[in-house]
Amino acid sequence: MTRSGWIRLAVIGGAVALLEASCRLGLVSRHAVIPPSEMARGAFRALGAEDVRGDVLATLLTVAQSFVLAIVAGFALGVLLHRLPRLRRALDPFLASYYAVPTFVFYPVFIVLFGLNRWPLVTIGFIFAVVAVAINTLDGLSRVPRAFLRTAQVMRLSGRQTLLRVILPAAAPWLFTGAKFAVAYSFIGVIAGEFVQAGSGIGHAIAFAYNSFDNPTMYGLMILLFGTVGTINMILWTWEQRLYARRGGR
């Protein structure tokens, strides 16, 4: 591990220890925050319960569905906008303000449309993630150096060859960034939806624990969730850095 990696570990460890100490010493009210050790115990106990395992599985499945849909549709949208620069220009202000609107307020509409199942949640995760994928696809495609395309022409590559051997590898880091955002945003959308109205999933379980003043379960589920999302993102982040490095910086 690098030096900054060790320092990072020490910083995080120190923060957890500090929280533990201030909870144990009563500097922070126990009704608000419980010590990290009790959170870990809560997480362990929650994982042992069958219904919680079902909630976790339901959430992961929903996120996976919305992720796949967002990647496919977002990529297609990005390619389309790249081909139509005028449409892209006109859409720019809307894309930029897209994330200011809490999309999950449309959840009731989706319930009416799709019925009371997991699809309204998939839809929320999807509409949250798809625009990030499209924007990053667009970014990557417009940053393929023109010299690459000219070289492809000189070598008389066919359209398919140009796409597979020149454009996609050159745009890969940005496409990957889009995928990374799709994971994060699918999680955010699905959990938000579960929080608001759904009857299952981790988001619902956390809200339920909060409403029944069950702090250990609530914090346990929270650190489980953050741990899962954090781990997935850390892996993707490291991978992404390597991609950019291989490409010789951004």
CB closer to another protein out of 96 and 164: 96
Alpha carbon distance 149, 153 (integer Å): 6
Q: Which residues between 55 and 84 bind another protein (CB under 8 A)?
A: none
Residue 184 found at the interface with another protein (CB under 8 A): yes
Alpha carbon distance 189, 16 (integer Å): 28
Alpha carbon distance 217, 41 (integer Å): 9
Give how far Cα 94 sits from Cα of 78, 132, 154, 244, Å. Answer: 15, 13, 39, 29
- Contact segment (CB under 8 A) with another protein among 16-24, 45-53, 72-80, 173-181 equals 173-181
State which of residues 1, 25, 26, 32 lies at the interface with another protein (CB under 8 A): 32
| CB proximity list for 152: less than 8 A, separation 6 or greater | 161, 162, 165, 166
Give how far Cα 23 sits from Cα of 37, 214, 223, Å. Answer: 10, 17, 17
Alpha carbon distance 46, 53 (integer Å): 8
Q: Which residues between 194 and 223 bind another protein (CB under 8 A)?
A: 195-197, 203, 206, 210, 218, 222
Q: Which amino acid is at 240?
A: E
Residue 126 found at the interface with another protein (CB under 8 A): no
State which of residues 1, 25, 31, 158 lies at the interface with another protein (CB under 8 A): 31
Q: Which residues between 81 and 120 bind another protein (CB under 8 A)?
A: 85-87, 89-102, 105-109, 112-113
Q: List residues binding another protein (CB under 8 A).
A: 2-4, 7-8, 11-12, 29, 31-33, 85-87, 89-102, 105-109, 112-113, 131-132, 135-136, 138-139, 142-143, 174, 177, 181, 183-185, 187-188, 191-192, 195-197, 203, 206, 210, 218, 222, 225-226, 229-230, 233-234, 237
